[in-house]
Amino acid sequence: MFNRKLVFYFLLFFFIAGQVTPVHAAAAVPKIYSQYAVVMDANSGELIYTKNQDKRWYPASMTKVLTAMILMDKVSSGAMMTASKNAVKKDASNSYFRLKAGEKMSREDALNALLILSCNDVAAMIAEHIARSESNFSALMNKKAKEIGAKNSHFVTPNGLHSSKHYTTTQDMALITREAYLKYPEVLKAMGTKSAVVRTSKRTVKLTSKATFHGMPYVIGGKTGYTNAARNSLVEIVKKGNTTLIGVVMKSTKSYAVKDIAAMTNYSFSMMETIQPVAAGQTAATINVRNTQVPLVVQNGISFSTKKDSSLPITIKNSFPRTPITSIAIGQPFGEVTVWKNGRMVGSSPLISTVEVNEPAAR
């Protein structure tokens, strides 16, 4: 009988024996033009491809991924924001949608304008609405980046307009984008949207992104960046099968940024494989029900994609309800097994009984 939750931890610092399925044959390591680059496994945060990944450079409008997450953290759905005289003076990112002082936008419309059309004035409006000034907002940006794990970044502007003190690394930018992918579905959706209609207090406008990554195979979202100082930058989220990768390049050209990420991610997919640390029917635990040993087996196998020869730890946890039981049927669920890679859950399955234990007969 169990009257409390039991959790068993098995830390596996080696590949668990089980079925292993290669994703692709290994490809040659690509040589790219972009000066700074990285590909990260979105599932675990593990780096697959690197080139000067810890060198600081200017992210330009990739910054807006971080601004978008803070927007979702700090502003309620449907809340309206007002463009100030300062916000509308920001350098234009496009020729047809510029805010006017006093114009209002909802959180949802601002998110789309920020990530589809990369509006610098919208970014400034968001910053002022949340923190009253861009300088105050930069403190929130740096706090958020630090919480995510970005160790070599410092953000000054909400839009990525140039400042010598505004910098990141491709590794940090991949971590920031991974956070958006894992925890901010609205941000991810906007990053993958090519065209949307937005409404302000004064007009309704259809916004369309010119970013070429929208036509690339397997790309589910991205964000471009450019300033004269930074040159071209790009982050993409690329999904193929059960593998999702995040590719980032900085100090590139418009055409090479797209080509390089395609080459980097194609190579990185070839360096991944699917493993099954927990198989269906495998006995995961044994419990005692009225002095009877009851084996619990895994109902559904758990598989996930990982870097070949990864050294990151895999953890398997069994957990059980607090409620005590005095009987159990064959096939009855009791508890759950979960699999974790580098601290993030990558799969789960119910545990089911293989033995029947009946209630005691009434007297």
Write the secondary structure of 241-282 as one string of H (helix), E (strand) and C (coil).
CCEEEEEEEEEECHHHHHHHHHHHHHHHHHCEEEEEEECCCC
The rounded distance, in Å, linking the Cα atoms of 213 and 229 is: 22
The rounded distance, in Å, linking the Cα atoms of 298 and 213 is: 41
The rounded distance, in Å, linking the Cα atoms of 142 and 155 is: 6
- Shortest CA distance to 140 belongs to which of 129, 149, 131? 131
**Contact by Cβ (8 Å): 298, 279:** yes
**Would you tell me how many other CB atoms lie within 10 Å of the CB of residue 17?**
11
Q: What's the pLDDT score for residue 4?
A: 39
Distance set, CA 128 to CA 74, 139, 158, 220 (Å): 12, 13, 10, 30
The rounded distance, in Å, linking the Cα atoms of 106 and 126 is: 10
Give me the tens of pLDDT residue by residue for the chain, a chain 363 residues long: 443 343 334 333 333 434 444 444 567 899 999 999 999 999 999 999 999 999 999 999 999 999 999 999 999 999 999 999 999 999 999 888 999 999 999 999 999 999 999 999 999 999 999 999 999 999 999 999 999 999 999 999 999 999 999 999 999 999 999 999 999 999 999 999 999 999 999 999 999 999 999 989 999 999 999 999 999 999 999 999 999 999 999 999 999 999 999 999 999 999 999 999 999 999 999 999 989 999 999 999 999 999 998 989 999 999 999 888 999 999 999 999 999 998 899 999 999 999 999 987 666
**Contact by Cβ (8 Å): 283, 312:** no
Q: Domains of the chain, with CATH numbers?
A: 7-20+276-353 (2.60.410.10), 27-270 (3.40.710.10)
Per DSSP, what are the bridge partners of residue 287?
294
The rounded distance, in Å, linking the Cα atoms of 230 and 117 is: 19
Q: What's the pLDDT score for residue 350?
A: 96
Q: Is the dihedral of CA 139, 143, 146, 148 positive or negative?
A: negative
Amino acid at 104: K
Q: What's the pLDDT score for residue 324?
A: 83
Per DSSP, what are the bridge partners of residue 4?
none
Amino acid at 349: S
Distance set, CA 252 to CA 49, 158, 234, 256 (Å): 17, 22, 9, 6
Write the secondary structure of 102-157 as one string of H (helix), E (strand) and C (coil).
CCEEEHHHHHHHHHHCCCHHHHHHHHHHHHCCHHHHHHHHHHHHHHHCCCCCECCC
The rounded distance, in Å, linking the Cα atoms of 157 and 127 is: 9
Which of the 8 DSSP states describes residue 72?
H
- Shortest CA distance to 162 belongs to which of 256, 236, 231, 255? 231
- Shortest CA distance to 286 belongs to which of 339, 360, 357? 357
Q: What's the pLDDT score for residue 335?
A: 94
